[in-house]
Amino acid sequence: MRKLGGYILAFFVTAVSARAQNTTITEIGNLIQDALLLTDRYITPATDAAVYQAASSWVNTPRHLDRWDVNVGLHFNAFFVPHRDQTFTLNQNELKFFQISEGTQVITPTTLGDDQYVTLTGTLNDEPVSMRTPEGVDRETIFYPYIQASVGLGFGTDFIAKIAPRTILKNVEYQVGGFGLKHTISRYFKKLEAQKIYISAFAGYSKEDITVEFLDVQTGFGNLGLTALNSDINTYQFQLNGSKVWKKFELISAVIFNSSDFNYSVSGNRGAIEDVFPLQSTVNTALETLKKTKTNIIGEISGRYQLKNFYIQSSLAFGKFVNSNISIQYHFH
């Protein structure tokens, strides 16, 4: 992150107009570096959690649907926020521009934390600058509903898709959607299915979109226009499921492997500083250094009970986080 200093200084040496000659270029560069530091620590727990939420309950059962049969389910997801991911520590010696108002160290919430905040101050072109650190969602458990549907394509293969409405939790907006294919492997092993044991493989893609209220920075130029931070996450998932059926009850387990690409950008109402230089686009260029790819291995276990054409299912995904899901499904023949 510190390597950005040279780039930022070079940019402003060539890009800052005559109106900004009195603005200290180094101060601007330091402010952006602090913004990157806060971005990484504030948003990372939420983006990691979003991947777990999107990874859960893709496969209702390893058994395949008959061709053109449809299963539609209403799912209710509950994500349990671990205490370790609710806060992070900010030290004065890590900051290049801002000053901590009280002391040399402060604990501030992540996106998954409470609604507390601290005030940071600084000086830009001899003018005072103040900023409140962003607040968290202030929830111990995060709930959100979504709809999922499966369609039998024949040959032991189902197409699966899910979509969630945009969920708003205080200062955070979240939405997920995706699709994939499931194939029943056990159909090639008649002895297994004769014992009502089923195995399937699933491959899918999901997109998670998170937007949070971010840096409300007040300066002599007015607001800097960095009030919203968006996280765009693209996840590719593969999983193996196995199940055993006893009459109307099915016990299902899964091992999930996924890889997620994380991208970040800031937005907000155009700040007056944009009349002098393009701060938003410069920050977004710098945010490209925070791009990352993460892989996860997640376990999942679920139980499914049949009531004629209805199914009630509950599942639990576990790994770094714990995510639960309950759904009501209807099978259209």
Q: From residue 197, how far is each of 63, 185, 250, 331 by CA, in Å?
A: 9, 11, 10, 21
* pLDDT > 70? residue 264: yes
- pLDDT tens for each residue of 141-151: 888 899 999 99
Banded model confidence at residue 118, pLDDT cuts 50, 70, 90 = confident
Backbone dihedral angles phi then psi of residue 220, each to the nearest 5 degrees? -65, -20
* pLDDT > 70? residue 10: no
* Rounded Cα gap, residues 268 and 212, in angstroms: 11
Q: Do 64 and 154 contact (CB within 8 A), yes or no?
A: no
* Rounded Cα gap, residues 86 and 182, in angstroms: 35
Position 8 scores a pLDDT of: 44
- pLDDT tens for each residue of 128-180: 888 888 888 888 888 889 999 999 999 999 999 999 888 887 788 888 999 99
Banded model confidence at residue 20, pLDDT cuts 50, 70, 90 = very low
Q: Name, in order, each residue with C-beta under 8 angstroms of 76's C-beta and a sequence gap of 6 or more.
A: 143, 144, 145, 325, 326, 327
Q: Which helix (H) or strand (E) holds 27?
A: helix 25-55
Q: Which residues are paired to 295 by β-bridges?
A: 259
Banded model confidence at residue 263, pLDDT cuts 50, 70, 90 = very high
Residue 97 φ/ψ region, left for φ over 0, alpha for ψ in the -120 to 50 degree band, beta for the rest: alpha
How does DSSP classify residue 290? G
Q: From residue 319, how far is each of 48, 159, 180 by CA, in Å?
A: 12, 26, 22
Q: From residue 75, how far is each of 68, 71, 143, 162, 313 by CA, in Å?
A: 22, 12, 10, 10, 9
Q: In whole angstroms, what separates CA 277 from the centre of its chain?
A: 31
Position 19 scores a pLDDT of: 43
Which position has the token pair 């009970």?
A: 305
